[in-house]
Every structure is written in C-alpha cells, then in structure tokens.
Structure 1
Amino acid sequence: MSVRKELKQKGKQSLKKHYLIFAAVCLISAFLASEFKGSLTFSTLQSFDQVLEDPSEAMVPKRSVGWEEILEESPAFMRTKGVLSDVLNQATSDSILVTAAVSVNSLAGTENTEIFCLILAGAIGLFAFWFFIQNTFSVILRRIFLEGHTYERVPISRFLYLLRIKKWLRTSWIMLVKYLYHAFWSLTIIGGVIKHYSYFLVPYIAAENPDITARQAITLSRKMMKGHKWECFLFELSFLGWNLLGALTLGICSIFFTNPYKTAVFTEYYIRLRHAAKEAQLSNTDLLNDDYLYEKADPLILMEKYLDILDIMETPAPACPEIPGFRGFLARNLGILLFWGKQEKEYERFQGLQVKNRELSEALNGQVYPTRLYPIPQEKRRGQIESLHFMRQYTIWSLIVLFLGLSFLGWLWEVTLTLITDGEFINRGALNGPWLPIYGSGSILILTLLYRFRKNPLAEFFAAVLLCGFLEYLASLTLEITSGGMKWWDYSGYCLNLHGRTSAESLLVFGVGGLTVVYILAPLVDNLLHKADQKLLKFICLILLTLFCLDLVYSQVQPNAGEGISAMAETKNLLMQFRY
C-alpha cells in the first residue's frame, strides 16, 4: 500500500470515530471564514429565477465591490490585466485586507469626527475578531483533529484549549506572523505558492506547542517540509475529485465529508512528517513535546496525576440535592433557577462536579486526552476552566444579562459592518435603542427550551436551527403586520429561503452561534456573574430591563425606520456578503 493510500485510510478511520465533532469544527471554521471559505456557497446562492428576473440584483462578492470602489478613481492601481495583476489580486484576496482597505476608504471620506471615531472603533473591533478568532481558529481545529487521532473522544471543552493554557494571544501572534510572511511572499511570482507549502505545518506545530515562538514555528515548518513540498502539492491534488464534487453540490459535500476527511488525512500527514523529523534529529524538534497526542500515557502515570478522581470513582456517588416544587421543574427541564439560594447553589455545585468528574474519569481511563499532562503548566487556570461545564442552570439575572448583552452585541455587529462599508452610522433594528432582540431572545430560547439537548451537540445544533428559524420567521411576519407591510430584512432570492423571512444562511448563523453561546459564552458569563456583587447586579439588570421595556413600548408607536433600516433594497445582502 502506498503512503498516500495508507494516510487516507488512517484519516477515514479517524473521521469515522469522530465524525460529528470533526464535521462540526470544520463547519464552524467555514462559517468564520477561517478555512473552507467556499463551502457555504449553497447558503448564499440566489435562485436562478431571481437572477433571470433581475440580473442587476445578482449577488456580487463584497470583496470585489470593495476594491473597485477604492481603486476606480486611481488608474495607476488598476489590476485587470497581466500576470502582475493576477499575482496582486491573489495576494490581496483575503477578507482582512479588504476590510482594512474599505475601512481606510470610509475614514478618508468622512468629515464628521464622531462618525470617524465610530468607524475607527468598528475597524479595530473587526480586526480584533480576525486576529483572535478567525486567524487562530485553524489551530484549535487541528488540535481537535490531533487528539482525535489517538483518543476515543474529544470533549467540547477542547475549543477552549488555548484559553486553558493561557496561550491564546501567543498563538494569535504566531498565525499573524505566518499570514504576513505568506502575504509578502505572494507579491513575488511563485513565492506565494512555495511558501504556502513551506508554512503548511505551522498550525499543527502551534496546536501541539502553543508556547513556541512565531519564528521557531515557521522555521521548524520550513525544515520539516524541505523535500516534501512537491509531495504535499500532489497529495492536495489527489483530492481534486472531491473538490469538484463539492463544487457541483454547491459546497454540501464539502461540509459533510470532504472538509473533515481532508483535514483528518493531512493530520496523519503531519504526524508522519513529525516522526520523520524526530528520527532525523532536525534542530528544534524537541519543541514538539506533546507526546501524549500520539500515544496514550502509561496507566501508572495517569493514576498518579488523577489520584483524586480515582478516590472519587471508588467512593459511592452522593445523592443529588433536590429543589422542590415548580422551582425544581424549571431547573430540571429548562435549566432555570428562579432563586440563587442554598438549595440552588448545592444543586448547581453537584451538577458541575458531575460533569467535571466524568470528563476527568475519561482521561484517567485513557478515553480522552489527559489535560493534566499538558507540557505547559496550567495549575492556576485549571479550576476556572474546568468549571465551565455546559450542563448548568442559569438564574433569572444571568438570563437577563445574557439577553440584553447578546442583543447589544448583535446590534453592535450590524452597525459596525454598516459603518465600515458605507461610512455612516445606521441604527439597525426596529427598536430605537442599541439592541436587536432577535439575537438575545434566540440565545435565551436555546439555553432554556433546548436544555435537554445539550448532552448531544448535533441534536442541539439542529434544534437551534429549527427553533431560531421559526423565531426569525415569526418576528419578520409580526413586524410586517404591525408596521403596515414594512420589512426589516428580506432574503428574497436567496437559495432555500422561506418567503424571504428566513434562509439557509441565517439558519447556519443561528446554529453555529447557538452552539457557541451554549457551550462557551454563556458559561463564561455566568461564572463572572456569580462572582459579582449580587445586589448591584440586580439593580443594574432592573435599570436596563426597564429601559428596554420603555423602548419596546415607544417603538410600537415610533418604530426605528428609514433608509438602510427598513428600506432593505440597498443593504439586504450586507451581512451575508461581508464574509465572502
């Protein structure tokens, strides 16, 4: 059997063991535009009839429009013909460069100081999102695939791997340096292609050892890929058939098979090159020091590190504290705590310990990666991160904070995009205040109504898609009826849209966003709120909730409307086109 076939066979075996989390993490990566950017084609495709009816309304990728608007007045910068133009277009095709250029263009055309500051703040915020999330997620993705190579299960908490070891900033810097190196080399004729393969292993190296420096990671990748760049190119070329099938199915095949399959195979490829580099004793290969990613730890070592868990496993499990009456019904079925009294605290503490001990016992049994054997010390952060269990209950005050906070973040996101792309402040949404309730209400409904789905992330995802799709459709219909036919969003022309009120694109947003809220964001916020002064927290919640209710009543009489808000002809595709 050839090496290529052997690696593909191992990749299939790994994918078969962990299909759900592998497919999910690749879908999130595509959604964030971190990788697999063309896989969501089906969700933004306009219907054929719509294009025939009005070709001028056909979707145009946002990046093309952005560059044309910026450069159309400068003939010296026109890049429509010639080899150099093609190379420059390739070098500047990434969304962060387009975002930066559009931001500069908007700033240059703005005389109002307040708007200037808002655009600048929005641009900084989007860069921070790219730097910390979009740019870094490929490392998290590879960490999950590397653990899946050896272990029977990869827990959802692994999405917080970099936060656990306090190396998120360093990893983001590594990926930024790699991005800049590749961007500069792309300005040459063939340098971009060569360096693509020279730096091919950087995300894998950072996933194994985030404590490494950017220069060390890049240098080590170059050395490991020396003599293997052509081999890697041919290896990628062997997936051409799958890529074509993905294109023919508008990305559906890529989402559900090709992306996770290809990533699993190249994870095996990295493991093979790592082994060869270790045998050849290349310099700095000692930095590849997480051996438990590739072989399970000796049971005696595990018992020593997890001695406390061993004692718990040998002790009879205590009875679960009970919350009586209606309060207990809400806690068990909706994950809601009406009060934060002694019974509720004991119940929540018990649930947290159950989740924590279950994951740690799996590590002791060799089923998951033993986090206590990380090469990087993490003792100070272990307690905080391990307490981020998702099978928790939320107090009324936590739910209020999450509702208002996520409503504000949704509003801020849409306003920021409009600021950067159009250079003007537009208060998005039907309300007059700084909040879009559909973001907050969707998140709260996912946290409560779908509480019993949390143990199964796949079921949680599809349930969130259905629930939020229904909510978006109902909200659109209600607003249209109560406002005399006025629309605040319209997906007409999008593939798989339902009466223009919801679409496949928005459903993907809700599904991925819902998982992020349930498994990461909400537990983080809830932990912080439990540490806050409860009297002050309640006072602030009541003030903000009162303001929101007053705005809700006022907006029934004077809804927020106008160009760019309810007249959606110019902006209906803004959010959907931005990532592409």
Structure 2
Amino acid sequence: MDRKKIKKQAKMLMKKHFGFLVAICLVSAMITSEFGGTLSWIFSQNNEAINEEMTALPSDLSTSKVLQDIFDDNLDAGEKMADEIKQKEISSVKNPAFGRSRGVFAALINSITSGSIFLSMVAAVNSMVGSESLAVLLLILLGLYVFLMFWFYVQNTYAVVLRRMFLESRTYQKIPFERFMFLSRVKRWTRASFIMFVRYVLYTLWSLTIVGAFVKHYSYLMVPFIVAENPDIKALEAITLSRKMMNGHKWECFKIDVSMLGWTILSSCTLGLSAAFFSNPYKMMIFCEVYVHLREKAKAENLVYSECLNDMYLYAKASEKTLKEAYPEIKNKDLNVKPLPGIRGFFANYFGILFKEGKAEREYQKESHKALEYASIKEEAEGNQYPTRLFTIPEENKRVILSRLDPARDYTIWSLILMFFIFSCIGWLWEVSLHLITDGVFVNRGAMHGPWLPIYGSGGILILTLLKKFRDKPYLCFILIFVLCGFLEYTTSYVMEMNTGLKWWDYSGYFLNLDGRICAEGLCVFGIGGMAFIYVLAPVFDNMIAKIKPMMLRVMCVFLLMLFGIDMVYSHYVPNVGEGITDYGED
C-alpha cells in the first residue's frame, strides 16, 4: 500500500461531506469508545461540576448513602435522606431558568440526583414480589440487562453504521439521514450486533496473551467494514475474511497509526478539538481507503469468503441503464407540477392552502402526490445517493406511512377552519383534564369562556401551513415545530400579559424555562404533538371532513366562527380569571 497516496485520497474524499463526517464521528465519541479521549476534557469539566454540586451538600447528605440504605433494607431512612437532599437542591438553585420545583423534567432530575428514583423502583418491585432484598436484586439485574442491551445493540454496532456512512460518502453526493437505519431496513441489525459481539469476545480472549491484543487488533480491523458491506455474512466468515485480508498488512496499518501520532499530540494540546473536527474523520477515511485497497486485492486473489464482498454499487455508481431498470417509474429527470394560477397557486405551493376544491385543485393535489413519491427515490434513480433497490438484500419500502397518509396534501380553507376548532377543543380538554387529575377540581382553562384554547388550534394550523415545504424532512420539521411553538407561546404570553396585566400561565420552577413563559418540557410535548398533527391527525381529520357535504361544512364553519367571535369580544371585557387560571400565588 502507498501510504502517502492513501492519505491524499482520504483528504480529498473528506471535502465532499466534511460536516456530515465530523458529526457522525462526534456521535461515535459520545456513545462508544472508538474515539476515546476526544471529549475527555468536556466530560472531566462535567464531572468537576457534579463534584462541586455534591460537595455543596452537607457531608451527611449524599446519594451514595441513600443507595447504602437501600442495600441495608433500610428504606425509611433512605427515603428521609432523599427528601432532604431534594429540598436542599431545590432551595440552592440560583438561576430561575433551571428551576427544580415543578414539572416532569424537574421531578425526574430531582429523583435521580437525590436517589429517590431507586427507592421508588424498589418499592414498586417490592409490592409485586413481597421482598425488599429480592426487589433490590431484581432491579440490579434489570439495570445490568438494560446496560448490556444498549451496549450490544448500540455501542457495539455503531462501528458498522459509521463505516457504512463513510463508504457511501466516498461514492455518492448525498447521504440521507435515514441511511443510519440501513441495518434495520434490511432486518440485519441483530446479526450485525452478534458478529461484532463475537469479534469482541475473541479479541478479549486473545488480549490475555502476551502479543494477542496488538496482533488481533489489526487482524480483526476489517470486520466492521465487511459487515457494513454485507450484513448477511456469518460471524466466523467475517472474522476469517478479515484475518486473510490483513495477512502481510498488519505492519503497514501499524505504521499508519504511528504516522497519526502527531495528530494525537495536537488533540491533547487542543483539548480534543482537533480530533473532533479533523483527525478522527480523517483517520476513519484513511482506513476506509485501506479497506477498499485490501478488498480489491482479496477479490483478485479469490480469498476464502471474498465472494461475500458483493456490494459493487458501494464503490462505483450503477450505469444509467441499470438505474432505469431498477427505477422504471422514473422516466424523466424532472417532474414538474403544474401550479395553480395567481394567488391560489402561491398559497397552495408555499402554505398548502386551497381556497376551493375544484377540478384544477384535485389535479394539482394528484400531481403533488406523485412528485412526493418521485422525490423519495429521485436521488437514487439519478445516481446521487446509494441505490437501495440494487442492494444485495432487499430493503423495506421507504415512506410507506407517509405515502398512505399523504402529508404533502393541501387543505381547503374550510378544512383548516374546522381543524382549528377541533384542536382548540382538544387543547382545552387536555388542560382541563390535567388540572382535574392533579388538583381534583374542574377549571375552565383559558382566557375565553368557550370550550376552546385557541393557542392550540393556532399552533396546529401554523405548523401545518408554514412548514409545508418541510413535511418531507421529518427531523428538520420537528426542530422547526419546537422553535415555532416556543415563539408562539412566548409572544402570546407576553401580549396577553401586557394587554390584561394578568399572567395566564407560569412555568417558573420548571427545568429549562424562559421567564416562566415557555419551558423545555412543554415544547417537547408541542414538538411531539405537532409531528403527530402533521403526519397523522391532520390527514385523518381531513379525510373525515371531506365526507361532510360542502354546504353543511360551510354552515358549520361560519356558525363556529360567529360563536368564537362573540366569545372573543365578551372575554376582552370580561376575561375568564380565577384560581387555577390566573392565580399562581401558591406556586
């Protein structure tokens, strides 16, 4: 192998997907030990902060003593100490943004830092098995099982996923986020995890010998690359093939590692930053090139099991003819949707709003649906990303749920009006029920007197219309929902308080809150609810609304708008106030 040529090639390939490769290596540094030390400075700072917080507590109060009480079957003493720790931590919070007195997040953090979560778990299991000692033992075993499952399926297997992403990045311009789940899509995640587990066990046994750790590190170096190419291979076949491929090349790979020593020293001097943002992905790309070189050699020499290295499209793009045969529905490179004319076309294209439902609108929706299906496979059919239909193992069809529910659909103005009221009522029911459960009292929540909370309906309609162009990107859509709902809730709270002088909700004491107007806990609920609204509820409700006769639908909408308008005017002069609505004096 020409080491200089391989490094030069690796640097050139990194430029195509630099940010993406850095990101996936950072994930590896956080959840695995492959790039151990990269984030050690950050972790050490975090540990110091935790230690400072623990030393701030009196010496007789500590989570370790709570755990000791649990092991000594002295749950009453442990519960008392956990409560003292929790109260001490709540009172010591200096920044109101990190409140610890209210909300699910605060309760979770308090229960973990005080140790009360372990007491609750022991008590729950004890109620089922009737023995505190047995409950502690079962919880220890359960914790061990969860840890092992996480290691087996995530930490142990991420090396395969990481290498697959690097190998695809060598050949293709685009690597969609969903490719991280390629093992799941071909139903080979457990098999890949098992292969990496066998590799780990064999390497651990060899490490008990004098030179085994050094030699077998390089002998098994190609295993995750092999599994990334063909997750259908058997464990011993992958290990044997890796050993055969590395025969005569262990020393060369060792010299590559030695040549990276300067980067290791620089990483120490830069607190891991140089490794995180360059040398980690650089080193991974170098060994990707080593694997490609050794793979070609193995195929040429017909090494045992080399026929398993059969993913040819991972290294070279398929011909135009092959792609046309695999994607016959893609006849043209461009699929243009004929837009609606004038202002109707603007609102339909950018916001998904139809002011009426005529023949032209129905044809526009039909073409838009075809465009969505086309977009989901266009990049593959054009050779810009890996052609999943040409993979040696058939993958599950993408976007099955999205296609069935058709999230790209447009909504008539009447459907949007009715859904505004549906979700305003759902929000009202949610808050009234929550207050009823927590305080045992029925309270007509909201500033208005009717059974609706317009902030829920407004939020639903806004995310449905403003995020129309992002519906085909669920991950980005979730982030935008989070931001949009946070902005809407904060501004609504501010405007209502300025207009009335009353505070309609207060998140003070919640963990990660901003001026008591918004909090992370609420925004997470809005984010999940918003995703459900866009991809499931809105299409389902729209299908139901479409069954209502047009004239009846319009009459319903006009009637509801009239009631809403009357309530809004009346509530402006006689706002709905009182305990549980605007009275937060006891919080």
Q: Does the 8 Å CA contact 1:36/1:259 hold for their aligned counterparts?
A: yes
Match of 1:238 in 2: 259
Matched, 1:12 2:11: yes
Task: State the shift of 1:50 in Å.
Answer: 7.2
Aligned to 1:363: 380
Change (3 A) 1:25 1:46: closer
Contact kept in structure 1, 2:478 and 2:531, CA below 8 Å: no
Structure 1 distance, partners of 2:266, 2:278, is 11
The aligned counterpart of 1:156 is: 177
Give how far 1:174 is off.
1.6
- Tell me which of 231, 253, 259 is aligned to 2:280: 259
- What is the distance in 2 between the residues matched to 1:137 and 1:469? 33
- SS of residue paired to 1:307: coil
The offset of 1:281, in angstroms, is 1.3
Count residues with an aligned counterpart: 453
DSSP 3-state at the match of 2:45: coil
Structure 1 gap ranges (5+): 58-64, 70-104, 405-430, 433-443, 475-480, 491-497, 499-505, 536-552, 561-580
Correspondence 1:108-507 to 2 at 5 A: 112=126, 116=136, 120-309=141-330, 311-313=331-333, 317-319=336-338, 332=350, 353-358=370-375, 360-378=377-395, 381=397, 384=400
Moved over 4 A (4+): 47-57, 113-123, 328-333, 342-353, 385-397, 444-471, 481-484, 486-490, 525-532, 556-560
Contact 2:408 2:471 in 1 (8 A): no
Larger Rg: 2
Change (3 A) 1:273 1:528: farther
The Cα of 1:240 is off from its aligned counterpart by 1.6
Mapped to 2, the partners of 1:353 and 1:217 lie a distance apart of 42
Distance change in 2, residues 1:9/1:126 (3 Å): same
SS of equivalent residue, structure 1 residue 18: helix
Q: Which has the higher contact order (CA 8 A, sep 6+)?
A: 1
Letter in 1 for 2:253: C
How far the C-alpha of 1:256 sits from its partner, in A, is 1.7
Of all paired residues, the percent bearing the same amino acid is 39
Which runs of no fewer than 5 residues in structure 2 stay unpaired?
Answer: 57-63, 69-117, 129-134, 412-418, 428-437, 440-459, 492-504, 515-519, 545-579
- TM-score, with structure 2 as normaliser: 0.56
Task: Give the counterpart letter for 2:257 in structure 1.
Answer: E
1:178-234 alpha-carbon deviations (Å, 9 max, x no partner) = 222223333444323322222111111011001111121111111111222222122
- Paired with 1:44 and 1:330, the residues of 2 have a C-alpha distance of 49
Q: CA deviation at 1:343?
A: 12
Q: What is the match of residue 577 of structure 1?
A: none
Q: CA deviation at 1:390?
A: 12
- C-alpha distance in 2 between matches for 1:187 and 1:446: 58
Instruction: State the shift of 1:255 in Å.
Output: 2.0
Question: Distance between the aligned counterparts of 1:388 and 1:241, measured in 2?
Answer: 54
SS at match of 1:38: coil
Residues 496-516 of structure 1: per-residue CA shift (max 9 Å, x gap) = xx9xxxxxxx9xxx9xx99x9
Is 2:245–2:294's contact at 8 Å kept on the other side of the alignment? yes
CA RMSD of aligned residues (A): 6.4
Bigger Cα displacement from structure 2, 387-396 vs 356-365: 387-396
The separation in 1 between residues aligned to 2:188 and 2:318, in whole angstroms, is 24
Summarize deviations over 1:433-488 as a string: whole Å, max 9, x none.
xxxxxxxxxxx9999988867999999999899999999x99xxxxxx9798x685
Q: Distance in 2 between matches of 1:529 and 1:345?
A: 18
Q: Superposition pairs for residues 86-125 of structure 1, below 5 Å?
A: 112=126, 116=136, 120-125=141-146
Q: Deviations over 1:113-149 (max 9, x none)?
A: 6654555545434433333233222212111111121
* Amino acid aligned to 2:381: L
Q: Secondary structure at the match of 2:37?
A: helix
Matched to 2:207, the amino acid is S
TM superposition shift of 1:329:
7.0
Distance in 2, Cα, partners of 1:181 & 1:174: 11
- Equivalent-residue separation in structure 1 for 2:253 and 2:397 (angstroms): 38
Distance (whole Å) between structure 2 residues aligned to residue 336 and residue 253 of structure 1: 48
Please tell me whether the aligned partners of residues 29 and 35 of structure 1 are also in contact (alpha carbons under 8 angstroms): yes
**In the aligned structure 2, how far is the partner of 1:189 from the partner of 1:449?**
64
Question: Structure 1 residues 124 and 265, CA, compared in 2 at 3 Å: closer, same or farther?
Answer: same
Give how far 1:245 is off: 1.9
Task: Tell me the amino acid that sits aligned with residue 160 of structure 2.
Answer: V
Matches of 1:465 and 1:239, distance apart in 2: 42
